[in-house]
Amino acid sequence: MPDCLVERHGPVMLITFNRPERMNAMGGTLLPEFLAALTEARRDDRVRAVVVTGAGRAWCAGADLQAMGSSGAPEHERRFNAVDDIGEVGRIVLAIDSCDKPLIAAVNGVAVGGGFGLCSAFDLRIASEEARFGTIFIKRALAPDCGLSYYLPRLVGPERAAELFYSGRMVDAREALELGIVSRVVPHDQLLETALATAREYAAQPPAALTYTRRAIRRSLSSTLPDQLAFEWAQQKACLQGPEFREGVQAFLEKREPDYAKF
């Protein structure tokens, strides 16, 4: 059985972390299979949005500590990770960042450590009432990874991020909503359909404009205002010259809904 299950729901790709007996910890083949699914999603024009959830009680419980050796990595990965600047989990975070399609985390349960880091890199997180989040690195004598030290201060502010990192405490779904970690909290049995419905809504948008918008948001995290303005204008010129814009204008003039499914 794969450690990542991939399903197609029309224009939406659903990825399910499938190690429920290990609370979907990042061991086995979960990470390479997840990377392969993200690569497929980015390259396939039929995929216009992605939802990621977890099987069982967890979204992702971070590193699989039972599978790690004394060096902190499986034997066959030690040399590779020792000379790699960002490590395997770093490459996953970069793949999330460069996916070019909206990515929604449907957080069904625990998302801690590296799992919290991965979902913090998504465009938005929709949480079940049973979801819980925790940095927990400090509890294992570790520093943050999986991009969490980059994204969490941007989600909640540096002071609140510091408190969460230094304490390692758990945050329930309601507090996560108050802090800005998640965009919505829904009943557990409505989580997946809510996430898929949201993804379908985004998937119906003009695809090139959607990609340009996502790139602009991502770039803004580390851009200066003049650079961002130049980036926006370059993308806007591409949109103005494209068929999606012509369809949008024509639909407005004809008083109908635009049809972007053909692009």
How big is the chain, counted in residues?
Answer: 263
* Domain ranges within the chain, ordered by starting residue: 4-203, 207-253
Strands 4-9 and 12-17, bridge-based pairing: antiparallel
* pLDDT for the residue numbered 117: 97
Mean pLDDT of 191-216: 97
pTM of the model: 0.92
pLDDT above 90: residue 212: yes
pLDDT tens digits along 83-103: 567 888 999 999 999 999 999
Local confidence band at 41 (pLDDT 50, 70, 90 cut-offs): very high
Burial class of 5 by CB neighbour count within 10 A (0 to 12, 13 to 18, 19+): middle
Contact 19, 33 (CB under 8 A): no
pLDDT tens digits along 98-139: 999 999 999 999 999 999 999 999 999 999 999 999 999 999
Which amino acid would we find at residue 10? G
**CATH for the 207-253 domain, from 1.10.12, 2.60.40, 1.10.10, 3.40.50:** 1.10.12
pLDDT above 70: residue 197: yes
Domain 4-203 has CATH 3.40.50.10420: no
Write out the DSSP string of 165-217.
Answer: HHH--EEEHHHHHHHTS-SEEE-GGGHHHHHHHHHHHHHTS-HHHHHHHHHHH
* pLDDT for the residue numbered 77: 58
Percentage of residues in the chain with pLDDT exceeding 90? Answer: 88
Local confidence band at 71 (pLDDT 50, 70, 90 cut-offs): very low
> What is residue 69's three-state secondary structure?
coil
Write out the DSSP string of 16-39.
Answer: EE--GGGTT-B-TTHHHHHHHHHH
